[in-house]
Every structure is written in structure tokens, then in C-alpha cells.
Chain A
Amino acid sequence: MRSLDTSPPEPRLSSLYQEVILDHYRRPRNKGALENATHAVSLNNPLCGDEIDLHLRVEGDVIKDVRFVGRGCSISQASASMMTQLLKNSTVPQALLIAERMSAMMQGDDAAATDKTLGDLRALAGVSKFPVRIKCALLPWNALTDAVKG
């Protein structure tokens, strides 16, 4: 029998599961339904069961408030939590721009990964090295684009 493997986790894993990600996973910001939402979209990932209900209150073209309900893996839920922090009081075109940067970061774009407009989301840059997890990180962003373009 081989003894317990106690070697430290590899760098790719520690960069995937950073403190800030686990913090958003365990203490999600802006979680819960939004009263008087103007936009609501539910998306799920049938493969792994991640779920996001995204609620927005848009006035003019400003996102006055944004909340989410959902369950799923740390990546999808942290991404949703971080997203709500960034989007509050941004305009819809700004929000879509951030969604595009986020998508670029997931494709491994290094410039996007250091783009300050992404805030805490930059902690998710490591996801780009785990192709099957990219759709987890993008689930809330797809809900956002569905909501405002829908």
C-alpha cells in the first residue's frame, strides 16, 4: 500500500482555489431575491447542476441593483457573487464590456487577467487552465447577457 500523499497541492490548484474565491463562495455577496426586479433570468448547467437566478433592477440604462440566488460549485457561485459587486451602479454597456473582458480572461487573455475593471474577478484567472470549469465561471455572465439582451 502506498502511504498517504501529503505533498503540497500543485500551484495550478492553489491558484484555482484562492482565499478570495472561497470567501465569496462561503459568504456570497448580494445573495437572495431582489424585490421589484426589472430583469430576471434563470440559467443552469445541466451537466453539473450549477444554478443561477439573476435579478436586476435597471433604471434608464443604469443597473441600480443586482442580486442572485443559486447553488453550485465554488467557481460558479464566487463568480456570481463577485459579479454583483462589480455591476451595481454600472451602466448596461459597461456591464457588457466587463462580461466581454471576463470571457477573454477565461480564454487565457493575459491582458484581461490584469485589467483592473475586473476587480476581485481577476482571482478567477486560473480557471482558464481548467477547460471544463470555464463554463462554471461564465454561467452568471451568460445569465447577465441573456437578461439585458433578452
Chain B
Amino acid sequence: MLDAARLRADFPLLQRLENGRRLVYLDNAATTQKPEAVLSAILDYYHSTNANVHRGAYGLAIRATEAYEAARERVAGYLNAWATEGVVFTRGTTEAINLVAGAYGRATVRAGDTVVVTAMDHHSNLVPWQILCQEKGATLRMVEITEDGRIDLSDFGLALERNPKIVAFPYVSNALGTVNPAAQLARLSHAVGAVVVVDGAQSTPHLKVDVQELDCDFYALSGHKMLGPMGSGALIAKPQLLETMPPYHGGGEMISKVWDDHSTYNKIPHKFEAGTPNVEGAVGLAAAIDYLARLGPDRIAEHEQALARAAIERLAQIEGVTVYGPRGPRDHRAGVVSFTYGDIHPHDIATILDQDGICIRAGHHCTQPLMRRLNVAATARASFYLYNDLEDVDALAGSLVKAGALFGYVPA
């Protein structure tokens, strides 16, 4: 395992006390804390490099453009993108998926076509497809999940029999921690001629990801979930697909020549980056990637998996607690543990844990169709990252026992 206590020293916010206690931050699936290296990269950028990109004729603007484009190369390298120009900077996963639905989807999906999503998709990999299908008169087919929270492969096969134009799924579920067999799903989808969109919001922070090995067509990620700043993120796409797509947003930067009544467009990826981009976001994301790469994504995955297993084991010992998602000792899962505790509402659990300085999420996790299938309105969710350790798992279990006592449950 990683030396989490030492890593915590890199994160200024984690030095704070919360309600007089050491802050135990277990809401990493929502957003992660930022290391000093990322914060200082952003500050340095504003201290030494800030100017608008791609337009200035002076040295400062050239250096700002270089910093922005170097960040693009860093993202491309970390994920083994097909090409650097296949990396489009976005506000995050949500915008990346909307870009695919709004540009690729609008140009290719017709009435009667099918788009496939899964019952464990985050709303941001569902609602854009609903909007597209409603506009086009296309069918949205939702693939069911198994009882232990995996994509139901036989139902996935049935959905593919409709010869969908687009298949979208999450690599890692934010609500359950399931790591889906993304490469296999992509291969099956390609066999019926579909274009594959992978929601990588939760996988990029936690696993070693190689988009060419996955062989998807589009891959979306959020910087803020991987130590980077909010409002940073990217769409990684096969360049030949980007070439054929109409633009998404219109404005400055994405054009080549503008006439009174029409325009020609810039080369990719700039064609999809209308307006002044989030340069500090890109620079901060590149610094976050440096940090992650130094630790090694495989070691991060291993660390998280160990914490998730320990947490599942501890929670299973508390009578009345139900853990959702794959629970087998050999199951590949990310550091996300969703659970309920008897009739204590997750919101009440979160309030009680907060008094001990423990931050967890309570709610539907932007996965309402999934919650319906699990037959719950909400779950409590603890999600771990590289700066969490077994002491945090202990704190979680201890505070849960307290919550139980308040609600009249007797500790086992």
C-alpha cells in the first residue's frame, strides 16, 4: 500500500480539522483534494505566463499557448491517446459527453436508430443521450445490471442485436465501484458497427488507462476527480472521427474564416474549443497527472482496492449494514463503497459521521435509474483515494457504530 500519511502532507486542505477532528475525507468519487503541486502550478501560471492563447503576437502569449498545448500533450501521453490533436479540453466529463452527443450524435443518429446506455450510468452519460434520442426519434435502450451490480452481459448482447449507432457505458461506476470489462464491451459493440463512448470520470483517477488498448472511440474525463482543478477535463477521441464531426459550440478560436453568413472551421482539436479556454485548468490538470504518474496508476488502484476490501469487511461486521456492488474478494472494484444501514436514512448517517470529521456522500449519486433497481431511494457512499488509509476505514466503522447506537441498533 501507499504511504498515505506521508502523501497527506502534500494536501493543504487535509491538514485542517473538521468539527475539531482530523478531517477524514471519503467523498473522492465526488471530487478529490488538490496537492500543493497542482495549486502552485496554477499560481505559477498566473505569476509568470498568463495571456490569452493562440492569438497573441508577443512572447508572453506564445508561452501561455505553449503551456496550454504542453498540457494537452501530457493528457494525451498519460492516456495513450490516438494523437495529441485527439484531445479536446472540456469543462469535464459532462461537457465531453454532451459534445459527443451534440456533434457526433446529432450528425449521425436518425429516426429509428438505437443508442445504448446502461442502468448504472451517471446522469451525465444518460441525459445527453435522452435529449438526442428525443430530438431524433431514436430509441434509447438501457442495458440492465445484475443483482451484484455488474453490467448484465446477456442483456448487453440483446441490446446489440438492435445494431445501435452508439454504445455508451461507464468504465467504473461512481455509485457501486464496479470496474466494467470495458475492452470487451467495446469489442462487442464494434462487431455490430457501433461507436463506443466510455465515461472515464471514475476510471481515469483510479486505474491505468490506455484508450488505444481499450479501443473505444470517445473517452471522457474530469480533472477535478484526479487531483486537478474544477472545470478542467477532456474528451479523447479518434482524430478521424473528430475530423468528420460538425462543430459543437460556435465562436472565437474554432473558426478559420468568417464571412457574413457562414464560416469555415479551424483544425481539430481547436474546432471544438470555441472561446477562451480554461488554461489554468489545463495547466493544473497536467500537474495532477505528473503527481499521479509519479506514484503510478497501478499502485493507486491496488491501494484503493485494499481500502475498499477492508471497508467492506468492516462494514459487513456491523449488523444491519448492506453493501452494494460486487463484493467478492477477487472482484475488481474501485475504492467506492455504497451501503445502507438498517432504516437509518443515508442523510442521517452523513450528518452523524460529519460530527466526527468524516465526509461521505448520501443520496442517489446522480444515478436515479440505478437506485430504482437497487430498490433504495439513496445510499451512503464512502469513496477512497491515495491519501486515505486503514485508519480512515477504522474511523468510518467506528462512527457508523455510533450512528447505529443513536438509532437504537446494538453493536455486534
Contacts and interface: CB of A to CB of B under 8 A. Distances in A.
B363 A13 contact: no
Contacts of B378: 48-49
A74 B408 CA distance: 13
A47 B406 contact: no
Interface in A43-98: 47-51, 71-75
B343 A133 contact: no
A47 B348 CA distance: 14
B363 A47 contact: yes
B408 A49 contact: no
A49 B377 contact: yes
A5 B399 contact: yes
Interface in A100-150: 130, 132-133, 136
B347 interface: yes
Interface stretch (B48-56, B256-264, B319-327, B388-396): B388-396
A75 B399 contact: no
A26 B345 CA distance: 11
B332 interface: no
Contact of B356 (A5, A6, A75, A130): A5
Interface string B373-412: 0000110000000000011001101110110011110000
Interface residues of A, number: 30
Given A17-B407, A136-B347, A5 B398 contact: yes
Contacts of B355: 9-10, 12-13
B325 to A, nearest CB: 19
Interface string B356-368: 1000001110000
A130 to B, nearest CB: 6
A14 B406 contact: yes
Contacts of A4: 394, 397-398, 401
Contacts of B408: 22
Contacts of B401: 4, 6
Determine the main DSSP class of B at the interface with A: helix
Nearest to A51: B377
B109 to A, nearest CB: 29
A16 interface: yes
B179 to A, nearest CB: 26
Given A48-B378, A49-B378, A17 B347 contact: no
Nearest to B389: A1
Contacts of A16: 351
Nearest to B408: A22
Contacts of A132: 351
Contacts of A12: 355
A74 B345 contact: yes
Nearest to B362: A48
A13 to B, nearest CB: 6
B183 interface: no
A106 B408 CA distance: 26
B352 interface: yes
A133 B347 CA distance: 9
Contacts of B362: 48
Contact of B348 (A9, A17, A51): A17
A84 B377 CA distance: 23
Contacts of B343: 25-26
A14 B408 CA distance: 12
Given A9-B405, A12-B355, A75 B348 contact: yes
Interface string B326-359: 0000000000000000011111100110011000
A87 to B, nearest CB: 24
A4 B405 CA distance: 14
Which of A4, A16, A22, A51 has the most CB atoms of chain B within a 10 A radius of its CB?
A: A4
A56 B378 CA distance: 28
A132 B361 CA distance: 13
A99 B192 CA distance: 60
Interface of B: 343-348, 351-352, 355-356, 362-364, 377-378, 390-391, 394-395, 397-399, 401-402, 405-408
Given A6-B398, A25-B343, A74-B345, 4 more contacts: A10-B355, A12-B355, A13-B406, A73-B345
16 contacts: A1-B390, A5-B399, A9-B355, A9-B405, A10-B355, A17-B348, A17-B407, A26-B343, A48-B363, A48-B378, A49-B364, A49-B378, A51-B377, A72-B347, A74-B345, A75-B348
